[in-house]
């Protein structure tokens, strides 16, 4: 009987350990993969067929998703590039890392912007310290040295005129050097889905109605970027030994709440973003994860996948237990995700207002404080009301108050880093570049 009990205990232990061994074995097997992070600026999730869009705007991303992991409900910590991308790089909220302003301008030719504090170790710095050769290329003016985004890169190129073809040429010129590395980290930030929405042939078909035509232009930009990603995927051979992550920093409004663009609200169209992981040498075909996630989760997930120890504060979580189906996922299912927007009035050279949001399971609470001039409180059930049109704040005050208290408590107690700022003098050329991108008001 003692022998039988021992054999039974051993079998039970094997059943418990096997999934963990698979998880950690995968990490060990891919301990030295290349890491590629592609951020598609201004790409809202619901304009991709993998999120139910009726138009096939991104056939390559759909094909990649069939072999990877799609997070169905991913939220950004802000609704414009500077703070959102800084949060991807640091796994911290904007009110922690301090990047809440950027290259927005009004009638003034001098602006003061925040930058990622040097005391925070960013994703490229983390990987560089682990022996990765690090490369970055972007064509959004906010992804710049002045805002601290070049920290940790061996080579970084920024094209402020937003032409993607220059980025492609740069990547092609680097390709032999990059592929020769033992392991590399490559960050690509495509800005093409951002205004001014160039009509890209052959995907664009002119529409008579203004709103529909604007959306048609936007969709053609998505297809254009999708093709460029496919070209880079094939050129660099990312199907082999590469952890590939494709995500957006934020989305875009098309009058769903009477506004256009981004950086103005925290509704779903601007903070619900696509996120796709492709793990090297693993069959996660058509795996879709419904539990809420954040693009801030990228850093801790990459770090844990590579087996790198954590040495600083992270507000994102490791998504690998969700990918490999470990445990009961209580941490992920019960988490609170926050989003934050600080709007400035450049014409009056002063602050305009705070927007704050808390996301918990199917619920989302939005609080707007325009400095004693306007208060707005909204509560939405995202499952029953995915377009966020039915404000149930007054009929569910306990939930709204609880979500607001969670944000307030976290903001009060969380670790905040000393803000670093830099003054920038703009000339007429730079002002025109910003105007083209909608960064002049």
Residue 273 in this model has a pLDDT that exceeds 80 = yes
Walk me through the domains of the chain, giving residue ranges and CATH numbers: 31-326+426-436 (3.40.720.10), 338-413 (3.30.1120)
Q: What is the pLDDT of residue 353?
A: 79
Most confident of 1-15, 104-118, 199-213: 199-213
Q: What is the pLDDT of residue 258?
A: 85
3-class DSSP state of 372? coil
Q: DSSP string of 327-358?
A: S--HHHHT--EEEEEEEEETTTTEEEEEEEEE
Cβ–Cβ < 8 Å for 39, 10: no
Q: What is the pLDDT of residue 376?
A: 86
Residue 390 in this model has a pLDDT that exceeds 80 = yes
Cβ–Cβ < 8 Å for 296, 120: no
Widest CA span in the chain: 87
Q: What is the pLDDT of residue 214?
A: 95
Q: What is the pLDDT of residue 195?
A: 81
- Non-local (6+) Cβ contacts of 405 within 8 A are none
3-class DSSP state of 214? helix
Percentages of the chain per state (helix, strand, coil), in multiples of 5: 35, 25, 40
Q: What band does 31 get if pLDDT is binned at 50, 70 and 90?
A: low
Q: What are phi and psi of 420, to 5 degrees?
A: -120, 135
Q: What band does 289 get if pLDDT is binned at 50, 70 and 90?
A: very high
| The token pair that represents 337 in the structure block | 């995700």
| The token pair that represents 435 in the structure block | 């105007």
Q: What is the pLDDT of residue 141?
A: 85
pLDDT tens for 296-346 read: 999 999 999 999 999 999 999 999 999 988 655 666 788 999 999 987 654
Using alpha carbons, list the distances in angstroms from residue 289 to 60, 70, 408.
20, 6, 29
Cβ–Cβ < 8 Å for 269, 380: no
Q: Look at strands 133-138 and 287-289 and give their pairing.
A: unpaired
| The token pair that represents 400 in the structure block | 């709204």
3-class DSSP state of 252? coil
pLDDT tens for 143-156 read: 989 899 999 999 99
- The size of the chain, in residues, is 441
Among the residue ranges 5-9, 29-33, 297-301, the one predicted with the least confidence is 5-9
pLDDT tens for 187-218 read: 999 999 888 899 999 999 999 999 999 999 99
Among the residue ranges 74-83, 146-155, 427-436, the one predicted with the least confidence is 427-436
Q: What average pLDDT does the structure give for the chain?
A: 86
Q: What band does 428 get if pLDDT is binned at 50, 70 and 90?
A: low
Cβ–Cβ < 8 Å for 79, 269: no
As a whole number, mean pLDDT of residues 59-75 equals 96
Q: What is the pLDDT of residue 332?
A: 78
Residue 286 in this model has a pLDDT that exceeds 60 = yes
The rounded distance, in Å, linking the Cα atoms of 140 and 143 is 6
Residue 30 in this model has a pLDDT that exceeds 60 = no
Q: What is the pLDDT of residue 17?
A: 39
Residue 426 in this model has a pLDDT that exceeds 70 = no
As a whole number, mean pLDDT of residues 58-70 equals 96
CA neighbor of 435 nearest in space, from 43, 104, 85: 104
Among the residue ranges 33-37, 127-131, 437-441, the one predicted with the least confidence is 437-441
The rounded distance, in Å, linking the Cα atoms of 103 and 84 is 14
Residue 380 in this model has a pLDDT that exceeds 90 = yes
Cβ–Cβ < 8 Å for 84, 295: yes
| The token pair that represents 111 in the structure block | 């602006």
CA neighbor of 276 nearest in space, from 25, 84, 39: 39
Cβ–Cβ < 8 Å for 63, 224: no
pLDDT tens for 338-363 read: 999 987 654 444 456 789 999 999 99
Strand ranges in 293-432 using DSSP code E only, listed in sequence order: 293-294, 337-345, 350-360, 363-369, 375-381, 420-425
């Amino acid at each position: 009987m003692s022998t039988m009990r021992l054999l039974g205990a051993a079998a039970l232990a094997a059943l418990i350990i096997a999934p963990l061994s698979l998880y950690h074995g995968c990490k060990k097997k891919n301990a030295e993969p290349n890491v590629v992070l592609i951020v598609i600026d201004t790409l809202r999730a619901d304009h991709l067929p993998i999120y139910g869009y009726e138009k096939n705007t991104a056939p390559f991303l759909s094909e990649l998703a069939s072999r990877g992991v799609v997070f169905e409900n991913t939220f950004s910590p802000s609704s414009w590039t500077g703070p959102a991308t800084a949060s991807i790089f640091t796994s911290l909220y904007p009110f922690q890392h301090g990047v809440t302003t950027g290259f927005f301008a009004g009638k003034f030719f001098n602006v003061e912007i925040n930058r990622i504090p040097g005391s925070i170790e960013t994703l490229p710095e983390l990987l560089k310290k682990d022996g990765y050769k690090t490369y970055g290329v972007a064509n959004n003016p906010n992804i710049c040295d002045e805002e601290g985004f070049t920290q940790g890169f061996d080579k970084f190129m920024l094209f402020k005129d937003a032409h993607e073809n220059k980025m492609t040429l740069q990547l092609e010129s680097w390709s032999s050097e990059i592929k020769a590395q033992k392991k590399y980290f490559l960050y690509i930030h495509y800005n093409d889905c951002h205004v001014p929405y160039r009509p890209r042939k052959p995907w664009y078909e002119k529409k008579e109605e203004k709103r529909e035509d604007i959306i048609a232009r936007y969709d053609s930009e998505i297809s254009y970027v999708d093709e460029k990603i496919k070209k880079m995927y094939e050129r660099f051979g990312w199907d082999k030994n590469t952890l590939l992550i494709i995500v957006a920093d934020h989305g875009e409004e098309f009058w769903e709440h009477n506004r256009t663009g981004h950086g103005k609200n925290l509704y779903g169209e601007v903070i619900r973003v696509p996120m796709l992981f492709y793990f090297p040498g693993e069959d996660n075909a058509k795996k879709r994860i419904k539990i809420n996630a954040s693009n801030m989760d990228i850093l801790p997930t990459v770090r844990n996948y590579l087996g790198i120890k954590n040495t600083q504060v992270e507000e994102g979580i490791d998504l690998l237990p969700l990918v490999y189906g470990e445990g009961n996922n209580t941490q992920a299912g019960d988490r609170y995700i926050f989003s934050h927007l600080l709007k400035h009035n450049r014409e009056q050279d002063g602050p305009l207002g705070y927007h704050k949001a808390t996301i918990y399971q199917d619920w989302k609470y939005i609080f707007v404080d325009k400095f004693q001039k306007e208060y707005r409180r909204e509560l939405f059930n995202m499952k029953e009301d995915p377009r966020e049109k039915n404000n149930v704040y007054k009929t569910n005050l306990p939930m709204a108050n609880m979500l607001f208290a969670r944000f307030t408590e976290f903001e009060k107690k969380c670790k905040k880093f000393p803000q670093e700022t830099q003054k920038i003098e703009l000339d007429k050329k730079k002002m025109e570049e910003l105007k083209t991108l909608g960064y002049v008001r």
